[in-house]
A and B are shown apart, each in its own frame.
Chain A
Amino acid sequence: MLLVVTVMVPLLTGVALILWGNARKTPFLFIEGSTLLTSVLTYASIFTMRGQEVRLFPLFADLEISFHLDGMGLVFSGLVAFLWPLAVLYAIEYMEDDRRQNGFFAFYTLTYGITLGIAFSANLQTMYFFYEMLTIVTFPLVLHYRDQKSRSAARKYLYYSMGGAAFGFIGLVFVIHYGTTTDFLLGGVFSAVPEETKSILLMVFMLAFFGFGIKAAIFPFHRWLPVASVAPTPVTALLHAVAVVKAGAFALIRLIYFVYGAEFLKGTWVHYLLYSFVLITIAYGSTMAVKEIHFKRRLAYSTVANLSYVLLGTIMLSEAGLKAALLHLVIHALMKITAFFCAGAVMHKAEKNYIFELDGLAKVMPVTFTCFTIAGLSLMGMPLFGGFISKWYLAEAAVADGSVMGIMAILVLLYSAAMTAIYMLSISVRAFFPKKDFDTTTLEGIHDPSWKMKTPILLFAVLILVIGVSPTPLVKLMSLVAGGAL
């Protein structure tokens, strides 16, 4: 029952906040407290509830909505539970002058519950159910500012996500019809499928991949993500760099390894087609990030590229690839949330949105930009930073892959790393080393944010370094998960 309670706490908190209304004062302690409680419950579930199945209610026939916490769910829920309370802390300062605070926190907390639901799902229909819910509860967050831009962004987000879910649904129906079960099983559920239905299943797989892949921003369905960066920064940072988009990647890992099975897909035309789409997305995201001059949109494009790093590991269809994908899923979350939080701090404190306005800002916001540089170096794959670890395993898996695609993957990774260096370091260089005749008086009155924003940023930056220097525990955990031992 612990799993159900864990999911219900944030959902009920969210509902309570909606009823509380925007007019009244925001109960910060209540929000932070209930988020922390959820995280504690999540970790309690991880340690006590692993492997147990919780049946919620039957849907129809023999389909059920049920929870089951396995290794994959452990990784995703553990990651989310770690980040969420800190992001709420950050949001409390970031949203301090907002009129619709309570509404914001209501949906923010609801999203937490839904995301945990995705992580805990025992079968495809449960995951699909929460996946759809995720779109609905995050929609008001994108719409938060209610201006022209956010309305069009929210509309776009809704169209893409709902469209994607429709394709996902097709996949679900076929799995119910042809599969032995809809439960997640490492190795797949299509063990007894006759040869002639294979081709239709592959076709459906492609549809479902793009369907679920829309949340993971795979090219050419990535457009909603850069546009959605009009949302408040806590949303962009946590949802559009971690929870929502990683839920997309998570769903794809589930679909590939736990429903279809790596063996079923390996070497088929779908495999190579999707492999090339993933590579295109990486090249695309990193190139567009270099060309983008809006701070948060640049990071959003970087997210597009990095999500496809995770998908690259996934689509290698090997244990080493899955391990690399999971590592990047976790480490990228840390790096990107740091980078976004820094961008948010700059927007909140200095009110600067474009990269060309950032000259010399590091002189007055040293903590923010030091952490940003750490995130940037890590994204590039500098040794001693976390990003290096996941990129190393990705490249190693690609080399071990040995196919033409593997070599292409290495080249794309190289290209992307060079582009990452340009788009991340150019910001740091600008901020730390302004031109010699730079007028420092324009920076007066700007300073680092208060502890509420600084704590998460510093904590994540330190964690990136810790993982970079001593990654062994994390790598071991991922090996166990990828091998199906957890």
Chain B
Amino acid sequence: MFIFYLFSGIILSALFFATFISDVKKSILALWAAGLGVGSLFLILGAEFLAIVQWIVSTLTAISFIFFAVLFGEHQRQPSNKIKTRFIQLLLSLLSGGFFLFFIVLGSNRTNSSSSFKEIPHEVPEFFNSKDNVFYQDGFAVSLKEEGLSLPPTIHDDFKSYANIELVDFGKILISDQFLSLEILGLLFFLVLIGAGMAARQAKRSSQ
């Protein structure tokens, strides 16, 4: 739990830095650090594939941000507006962020109240892996081996045990249940590529 809160603190402080710093380069580097921290968080929670994807995406995003920041000439400090305007902007942004956080936490409390870790599952989950027995305590996966505990004879009746997701299970869902979503994502990337190329071209100069 300490590692989880440590990484959460690193992520939040990096994002706070990225939001309020005026220098674009430092803001982008802080965003990169936050992306790496989120990948580490995924690693702690057992999503290794997601962690690797997040690290790659964060690094590529940071590189592209730096490239475009230099291209657009934003590598210098931004000129500051009037103090009153900046204060109103800051206040509005903090209020909207506060409302957003409130609704996220409210929604999560309503969702979690209906599911309890003490519910008895009637069926074994499809991707249950009995190799490393893991159960949940206070929202964190606890390995029985590390805790020096032994399995009770009816673990499926007493605990909702989840194992780390194997990559093959991840792939099975992608090509079976979510195949249409995957195809739509591919189509989206194709359309984005064409649209971005059309949008970013230089305007034709009118011939005299």
User: Is B a genuine binding partner of A?
Assistant: no
